[in-house]
């Protein structure tokens, strides 16, 4: 049997037993479990040390199962046709008759849903009779994983299986948009804001972090390597890791390039990988060159600010 298919079958075996399995997605790796099962979903919270009031995103293959769980509206269909499968999460009204465990939603009347693009995970979702609750496969507040090795570093042997789908192509979490009332963006992510505005033909509001947390992606310290980070810096000291967005004339062993050509999509893909590398090299400080605040740059700046606790 083909290796991928054997690994998908292995994932199904553990998921059917209400265990957690790490799955690849184009954004970051997810820690997945049967979204209909309270027992399975509780394991996600305990493995991640995630507070119960942080609801999870549920992953679907397509609309078949989703129709039983959420009210689908016009804006949803426009964005679904344009961007799915892809790095966008929709917050929709939850149907009363939905089988989704209320632990997934923390008893909210809405549900966050997504259709990941990674081929292996799509094949897995297609074969399952239930959708998968899957937050990022990292310990809460730490750096999100973008490869099988990163997941291993986070959880060691505590999880039953990691489905290896190679490096995540986008490398940053999905954009979250609430479509319950007037559309609003709750978290910047893998689809640029301008593209969503264009698709819906209006300027969608972005709701920045408030005191009351609606989304953990809005909490202050998040995506953190646990090292102080200083943004918009021109120079570095010899003991500091310096994150750069374009090539410098002189190179130095403390330089970490998100991109050598100011390519923001490439920079997004490299961000978590580089933060993890810097953490593992035991630097005491990180300084970052100014990153243009447009397109993916806006999301990169958002994550760096959170990682620095600002
Ligand atoms: P993670 O997968 O770890 O990046 O986190 C999932 C994100 O989806 C978190 O920021 C959640 O708060 C958010 N989320 C999940 N369900 C809802 C919901 N019903 N309303 C708003 N945000 C949600
Ligand atoms: Mg996360």
End of a domain among 138, 171, 206? 206
Same domain, 188 and 258: no
Nearest partner of 236 among 252, 260, 247, judged by Cα = 252
CATH number at residue 144: 3.90.870.10
- The H or E element spanning position 309 is none
Same domain, 122 and 201: yes
DSSP state of 174: P
Read out DSSP for 125-140?
A: HHH-SS-EE--BSS-T
Same domain, 60 and 101: yes
Q: Which residues of 117-134 are buried (b: 16+ CB within 10 A; e: fewer)?
A: bbebbbebbeebebbbbb
Same domain, 127 and 198: yes
Residue 1: band (very low, low, confident or very high) from pLDDT cuts 50, 70, 90: low
Residue 212 belongs to a domain: no
Four-point Cα dihedral 229, 233, 235, 236, nearest 10: 0
d(CA 304, CA 143): 11
Sequence-distant (≥ 6) Cβ neighbours of residue 247 within 8 angstroms: 257, 260, 261
Same domain, 29 and 101: yes
pLDDT tens-place string over residues 243-298: 999 999 888 889 999 999 999 999 999 999 999 999 999 998 999 999 999 999 99
For the chain, how big is the Rg over CA atoms in Å?
19
pLDDT tens-place string over residues 162-184: 999 999 999 999 999 999 999 99
Sequence-distant (≥ 6) Cβ neighbours of residue 77 within 8 angstroms: none
Which tokens is 117 given?
């693009």
Same domain, 108 and 157: yes
Residue 216 belongs to a domain: no
d(CA 71, CA 93): 5
End of a domain among 206, 237, 270? 206
Look up the domain containing 258 and give its range: 229-308
CA of 118 to the centre of ligand 1 (A): 20
pLDDT tens-place string over residues 75-133: 999 999 999 999 999 999 999 999 999 999 999 999 999 999 999 999 999 999 999 99
Residue 176 belongs to a domain: yes
- Map tokens 């640029």 to a residue: 192
Ligand nearest to the CA of 207: 1
| pLDDT score, position 211 | 46
Closest atom, ligand 1, to C-alpha of 173: 4
| pLDDT score, position 306 | 87
Ligand 1 atom 5 nearest Cα: 135
Residue 46 belongs to a domain: yes
pLDDT tens-place string over residues 20-45: 999 999 999 999 999 999 999 999 99
Residue 213 belongs to a domain: no
Closest atom, ligand 1, to C-alpha of 215: 12
Total number of domains in the chain = 2
CA of 237 to the centre of ligand 1 (A): 38
Same domain, 195 and 266: no
Residue 202 belongs to a domain: yes
Same domain, 73 and 163: yes
Residue 130 belongs to a domain: yes
Same domain, 131 and 252: no
Same domain, 74 and 120: yes
Ligand nearest to the CA of 174: 1
Closest atom, ligand 1, to C-alpha of 30: 2
Mean pLDDT calculated for residue range 216-241: 81
Task: Give the number of other Cβ atoms within 10 Å of residue 171's Cβ.
Answer: 24
Question: What residues line ligand 1, using a CB cutoff of 6 Å?
Answer: 54-57, 91, 105, 108, 110-112, 135-136, 173, 176, 186-187, 214-217
Same domain, 132 and 269: no
End of a domain among 167, 191, 206? 206
Residue of 27, 45, 51, 215 to test ligand 1 pocket, by largest number of atoms within 8 Å of CB: 215
pLDDT higher than threshold 70 for residue 47: yes
Ligand 1 atom 17 nearest Cα: 112
Same domain, 198 and 284: no
pLDDT higher than threshold 80 for residue 219: no
Ligand nearest to the CA of 215: 1
Residue 39 belongs to a domain: yes
pLDDT higher than threshold 50 for residue 240: yes
């Amino acid at each position: 049997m083909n290796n991928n298919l054997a690994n998908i079958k292995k994932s199904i075996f553990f998921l059917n037993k209400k265990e957690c399995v790490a799955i690849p997605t184009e954004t970051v790796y997810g820690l997945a479990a049967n979204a209909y099962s309270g027992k399975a979903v509780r394991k996600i919270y305990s493995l991640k040390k995630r507070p119960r009031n942080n609801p999870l995103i549920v992953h679907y293959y397509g609309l078949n199962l989703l129709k039983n769980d959420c009210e689908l509206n016009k804006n949803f269909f426009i964005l679904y046709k344009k961007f799915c499968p892809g790095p966008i999460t929709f917050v929709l009204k939850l149907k009363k008759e939905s089988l989704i465990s209320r632990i997934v939603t923390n008893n909210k009347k809405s549900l966050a849903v997504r259709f990941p693009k990674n081929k292996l995970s799509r094949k897995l979702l297609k074969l399952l009779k239930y959708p998968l609750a899957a937050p990022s496969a990292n310990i809460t507040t730490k750096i999100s994983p973008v490869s099988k090795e990163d997941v291993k570093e986070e959880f060691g042997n505590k999880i039953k299986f990691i489905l290896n789908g190679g490096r995540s192509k986008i490398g940053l979490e999905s954009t979250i948009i609430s479509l319950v009332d007037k559309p609003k963006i709750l978290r910047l992510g893998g689809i640029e804001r301008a593209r969503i505005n264009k698709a819906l033909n209006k300027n969608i509001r972005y709701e920045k972090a408030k005191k009351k947390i609606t989304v953990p992606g809005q909490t202050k310290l998040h995506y953190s390597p646990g090292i102080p980070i200083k943004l918009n810096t021109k120079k570095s000291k010899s003991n500091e890791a310096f994150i750069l967005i374009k090539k410098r004339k002189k190179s130095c062993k403390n330089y970490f390039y998100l991109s050598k050509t100011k390519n923001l999509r490439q920079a997004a893909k490299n961000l978590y990988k580089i933060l993890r590398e810097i953490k593992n090299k035991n630097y005491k400080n990180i300084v970052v060159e100014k990153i243009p605040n447009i397109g993916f740059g806006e999301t990169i700046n958002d994550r760096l600010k959170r990682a620095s606790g600002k």
